[in-house]
Amino acid sequence: MRMFNKVTIIGVGLIGGSIGLAVKKSGLAEEVTGVFRRSSTMKKALKRKSVDKGTMSVRDGMHDADLIILATPVSSIPLLARDAVDFAKEGAIITDVGSTKRWITAQIDKMTSRSGIFFVGSHPMAGSEHTGVEFARDDLMEGAPCIVVKTVKTRRSALRKVTRFWRALGAEVEVMSPSRHDKSVSLISHLPHIIAFSLAGAVPAKEIAYAAEGFKDTTRVASSDPELWADIFMTNKAEVVKAGKLFINYFNTIKKALSDGDYGKLVRILRRSKAKRDKFVIYGKKR
């Protein structure tokens, strides 16, 4: 099903590369162009056919594109949107895959008003602790939640197209405001990352030698890219700090029941947690 003539992906890593593969597989675009910072990555991406064409020039890559996907770390997304305003053709749609949305949309909405190009922020919640196009998979978006954000500046036709685009790649799309998004992800994504980083950091290295499955899974995302995540935390600071407080309160409730030797209360708290976690397994498909 052809939706676009030319789709351009800026930043072809795990996410950008997976989108490229999926767009090509589904035939959503006549052509997929990737924009790279390193020629070594470009070679890898072309070899793996994540994109049809590659360029190191943002200007060339954006030229004549119908859909531009900004798949770089959060802090660089507004800068690239500025380039799109300068280089993209009239009517082009820009989206992104950034993990925070309020900070990004506030800046880009200002740039794009009366520019003739349309921005719709997205956040496909797929990926892993790995980075790099070598981990890209054409089915990464299948069954993944994808939040698309809507602001007072969002053009309806562009929102519809972006929504259809992610659905065509198999994602389960929800439309919400940037603030709503940032609150949700602070709890279900940013908080788990801070917790994993804290646990891996706090446990002395010599103890880790005995660790098994529980530690492995609880800390898995601590192998994520530090700069990428520092970026995400910084651009969603207020919500992340709030989520942290919620967590610490719960943690302290458990600790208190334990210190008090209140077995009954401890079991009740743990049961409530288990019930919520058990339900989660049922919701998702590929989770």
Q: Is 32 a binder of a copy of itself (CB under 8 A)?
A: no
Burial code (b: 16+ CB inside 10 Å, e: under 16) for 136-168 equals bebebbeebbbbbbbbeebeeebbebbbebbeb
- For a copy of itself, which residue of 139, 147, 163, 178 counts as binding (CB under 8 A)? 147
Within 201-230, the residues that bind a copy of itself by CB under 8 A are: 201-205, 207-227, 229-230
Within 154-173, the residues that bind a copy of itself by CB under 8 A are: none
Within 224-283, the residues that bind a copy of itself by CB under 8 A are: 224-227, 229-230, 233-234, 237, 240-241, 244, 246-251, 254-255, 258-259, 261, 263, 266-267, 269-274, 276-281, 283
Q: Is 130 a binder of a copy of itself (CB under 8 A)?
A: no
Q: What is the Cα gyration radius of the chain?
A: 21
Structure tokens at 181: 């998004």
Least distance from a copy of itself to the Cβ atom of residue 130, Å: 11
| CA 137 vs CA 43, 247, 263: distances in Å | 17, 33, 47
Candidates 38-46, 80-88, 141-149, 151-159; binding stretch for a copy of itself (CB under 8 A)? 141-149
Strand partners of residue 96: 70
Least distance from a copy of itself to the Cβ atom of residue 10, Å: 23
What is residue 2's three-state secondary structure? coil
State the Cα angle at 179 between 122 and 96, rounded to 5°.
Answer: 15
Q: Is 56 a binder of a copy of itself (CB under 8 A)?
A: no
| CA 19 vs CA 56, 142, 281: distances in Å | 19, 11, 26
Least distance from a copy of itself to the Cβ atom of residue 241, Å: 6
